[in-house]
Amino acid sequence: MTTVTPIHHPHPQLLSAQASGALSPAVNRIIAAHAALCPHCRTTLNRLETVGGALLDDQPVAPLDDGALEKALAAISTPPVAVQPPALPQELSALPLPLRDIISAGIGKATWQSVGTGLRCLELELPTASAGESFQVFRIEPGSGPPRHTHGGQEFTLVLTGAFKDETGLYRRGDIAIGNESITHRPIAEPGEVCFALAVSTAPIKFKGPLGLLQRVLNLGRG
């Protein structure tokens, strides 16, 4: 049975972990992008970071390694090589700043893959991503969506344009949906605008029905 858990904002614990730097790089990036689109969460994050900074000021100062100052000055004096990222499609022109660089780079290095009727996926590279995490952008035509599935771990999905609806609720631009193994759903893009969504998964999804059976057979065959 599906657990109906509508989540349009990260839990306070997630925002606290974001402010303290305790999240994985991929989850950190998607929470930062949500905060860029959500004034409420952005304000909360700013407050948490201010508190964290004040606590750090009270900590004893650690001694620097020999030559640390010289290394820092050398790094500052060497200007980075400017690389012009590929232009974003018009549909993604309003992307939040924390995603512009990585999605531009992904468009420049890879091509959109069709993963079903009206559904395309772009794999993104995050050099510091944790093992087992996937970082993807989905383009979902109105009325389309992935097959019914559940999750082997956590999944964070941020709506960038348009909207989608599943068994847990309706998610519009800036909303974040958080799923886990307790949720079985099939997100479907709402009528109107094409839905772009960023998804971070900590483990592969698990399909239901005939696709799920095929997935299990293939996985057994690989063992």
- What's the pLDDT score for residue 52? 54
- What's the pLDDT score for residue 191? 96
Q: Which of 120, 169, 113 is nearest to 144 (CA)?
A: 120
- What's the pLDDT score for residue 86? 60
- What's the pLDDT score for residue 44? 87
- What's the pLDDT score for residue 215? 46
Q: How far is CA 67 from CA 72, 146, 191, in A?
A: 9, 54, 60
Cα end-to-end distance, the chain, whole Å: 30
Contact 153, 205 (CB under 8 A): no
- This prediction's pTM: 0.73
- Taking 70 as the pLDDT cut, the residues of the chain under it are 1-7, 52-65, 67-87, 89, 127-130, 209-223
CATH 3.50.50.60 fits 1-56+112-223, yes or no: no
* Separation of alpha carbons 164 and 114, rounded Å: 18
- What's the pLDDT score for residue 33? 87
* Separation of alpha carbons 178 and 200, rounded Å: 10
Grouping H, G, I as helix, E, B as strand and the rest as coil, residue 159 is strand
